[in-house]
Amino acid sequence: MNYTIKTAETDVYLTLLQLAEKYPVANEWLAQLPNWLATVKDKSRYAHAPFYQSLIERLPVVDNAQVDLNQPCITAAFDWQESEYKQTHALLKRLMPWRKGGFLLGRDDRQIHIDTEWRSDWKWDRVLPHISPLHGKRVLDVGGGSGYHGWRMAGAGASTVIVIDPSCLFYHQFMAIRHFVRDADRNDFGRNRVHYVPVPLEALPNPSLTSGQAGLFHTVFSMGVLYHRASPFEHLEQLYHQLAKGGELVLETLVIEGDATSVLVPSERYAQMNNVYFIPSVAALSLWLYKVGFVEVRCVDVDVTSTDEQRKTDWMDYQSLSDFLDPNDSSKTIEGYQRPTRAVMIAKRP
């Protein structure tokens, strides 16, 4: 048995303890951290939690991994026995579906390619040229899924990245990758760069309310989350309050064509998703951001999602984008709405 989860959870505690020496808001995180970490393991809440944890504990220990966080697939290259390779492949398969990635583990003919539903590197390539440099920065990744983009943020030089997502499955997917990355992402303070806290954004302390201070993070990412929120203004306000003064928001979300008054509210489902509430135009979204208090709002990219970027794979064998489009008109969803189109917005907290 390995101690990957325990070690990772200890490291996030020590990271927050270090931050609390200069930033009092980190004490509020520390006060709630034990409950957050206990909740994701609570069998009464997440029936599969003990099973997922057992999968991580059974992963083989590998040495001398060559880790690269700047490749399209997060890569940990190492040698292992055939039996370890087969065992790991079977264990990781039990953590399906894998949606954000991909990941490469091992080497040569004993390499596991976790080919996720999303080519998440494509989104990163659209985002990275437009954001402020991450070197030495504290970063929050909201709704980070398996943690893929968090690893890429560390690869871009971020000193501390905290990924948050309440999913029990995604938490354990992250821990599976952490197991093979081990401590290859250490920062100048001797701590891991990338951490995972299994909570939604609304659970985080709001320093503006509790201490009258600005937030902890130089950059906050919210990618693929806003349209799932029943109250988008609350989500934007919560993002605002997590930012330090002068900090940068990177917001990626579904948009539609139209002017500042154009917002789609799907009647039931959108691209077969039943939890899509509001899809604004770029102009409307810009207005929303200004109303919340952001400045220097700009749209830096608009991209129509392709079936090469989001697709069914051996590691996500459920339906995917091709199943959600009108079979007679691929410019529309199966419900008749505009095909998924995503914009990247950049904004600053003054």
Asked if residue 280 lies in contact with residue 290, where contact means CB atoms within 8 angstroms, the answer is no
Q: Specify the pLDDT at position 156.
A: 98
**Whether the predicted model's global pTM rises above the 0.95 cut:** yes
Mean pLDDT across 264-289: 97
Q: Specify the pLDDT at position 270.
A: 97
Task: Answer whether the bond into residue 102 is a cis peptide, omega within 30°.
Answer: yes
Q: Alpha-carbon Rg of the chain, whole angstroms?
A: 20
pLDDT digits (tens, 9 = 90+) for 292-344: 999 999 999 999 999 999 999 999 999 999 999 999 999 999 999 999 999 99
Mean pLDDT across 30-48: 96
Mean pLDDT across 18-24: 94
| DSSP letter string, 85-99 | HHHHHHHHHTTPPP-
Nearest to 43 by CA among 32, 31, 52: 52
Q: Which two tokens stand for residue 170?
A: 């995604």
Q: Which two tokens stand for residue 231?
A: 């109250």
Q: Specify the pLDDT at position 210.
A: 67
Q: Is the alpha carbon torsion for 125, 126, 127, 128 positive or negative? A: positive
Q: Specify the pLDDT at position 75.
A: 98
Locate all alpha helices (DSSP H) within 182-263, ordered by sequence. Answer: 207-210, 232-242
pLDDT digits (tens, 9 = 90+) for 40-99: 999 999 999 999 999 999 999 998 999 999 999 999 999 999 999 999 999 999 999 999
How many residues are present in the chain? 350
Residue 207 has pLDDT above 90, yes or no: no
- How far CA 123 is from CA of 120, 182, 342, in Å, comes to 5, 25, 10
Residue percentage of the chain with pLDDT more than 70: 99
Using pLDDT thresholds of 50, 70 and 90, give the confidence band for residue 290: very high
Q: Specify the pLDDT at position 135.
A: 98
Q: How far apart are CA 154 and CA 195, in angstroms?
A: 10
pLDDT digits (tens, 9 = 90+) for 96-149: 999 999 999 999 999 999 999 999 999 999 999 999 999 999 999 999 999 999
The DSSP code for 165 is: -
Mean pLDDT across 146-174: 98
Asked if residue 58 lies in contact with residue 1, where contact means CB atoms within 8 angstroms, the answer is yes
Residue 212 has pLDDT above 90, yes or no: no
Q: How far apart are CA 171 and CA 176, in angstroms?
A: 9
